[in-house]
Copies of this chain bind each other. A is one copy, B any other.
Amino acid sequence: MTAAKPPSRSGPRSGGRGRPSKAKGLDLKETILDAAEGLFARHGFYGVTTRQVAAEAGVDTALIHYYFGAKRELFDAVFLRRAEILNQAREASMDAYLRAHAGAMTVEGVIEAFIDPLLRISQDGGAGWKSYFALVAQVNNTPAWGGETMTRFFDPVVHRLVETLKTVRPQAEYRDLYWCYQFLTGSMMLALSETGRIDSLSEGECHSSDLEAVRARLFAYCAAGFEAVIARAG
């Protein structure tokens, strides 16, 4: 209509169309996932159009469908890409804790082994991981399909947490452990999504990007909460 849009693209890709080697093809797929991740994290699934993703990635709209199919499949690909890495990191962290403190596990230690890998990845993993955590937090609070999605991707490691806690406190009831996990995950997800609310609320005293401050408090907070609930019930 107006003017043919120039074939500009941010990356170091050559100007023309066509097949630019397999390596570049994979790279382009990742570029699309990165763009989609950031936009979905900020505006949610319905708040983003495939055209926006294409523009952000510097790519033709049709290419998104070529690689990923429907929009929802793109979203799932974004969600899946880091979920496995996350689960592996958490499993490894819990493995390490179990091996190191097999005889003398504490509630706080188990909880730290469960949460800390996420904080660490968010701190060291770059902007992509930050977006991803915001995305997960949003999904976690999505009534329509969020619960099902979270269940599908993250249930196993949660069950392992609950079972380990049951080992540490055998007299605790599963009901209490599951409710406490629910409280824990709400706190953790809100902290990881870094919404900036605490910044304005505390008038500059706290910053949601300060995950070191979270680390210094969240483990103790949750552990004490667990202990209190268990004690009250028993």
Contact = CB atoms under 8 A, between A and B. Distances in A.
Interface stretch (A7-15, A65-73, A138-146): A138-146
Interface string A179-206: 1111111111111011111111110011
Interface residues of A, number: 69
Interface in A160-179: 174-176, 178-179
Nearest to A177: B202
Contacts of A197: 140, 146-147, 150-151, 182
A22 interface: no
A224 interface: yes
A59 interface: no
A147 B200 contact: yes
A128 interface: no
Contacts of A205: 174-175, 178
A143 B147 contact: no
A155 to B, nearest CB: 6
Given A147-B200, A186-B190, A187-B187, 4 more contacts: A43-B144, A44-B46, A183-B217, A217-B229
28 contacts: A42-B143, A44-B44, A45-B47, A137-B141, A140-B195, A141-B141, A142-B195, A143-B194, A143-B195, A146-B197, A148-B200, A151-B201, A158-B201, A159-B201, A174-B202, A175-B205, A175-B206, A178-B201, A182-B190, A182-B191, A182-B197, A182-B206, A183-B187, A183-B222, A186-B186, A217-B232, A221-B228, A225-B225
Which 4 pairs between the two chains have the least Cβ-Cβ distance?
Answer: A186-B190, A224-B228, A221-B225, A183-B187
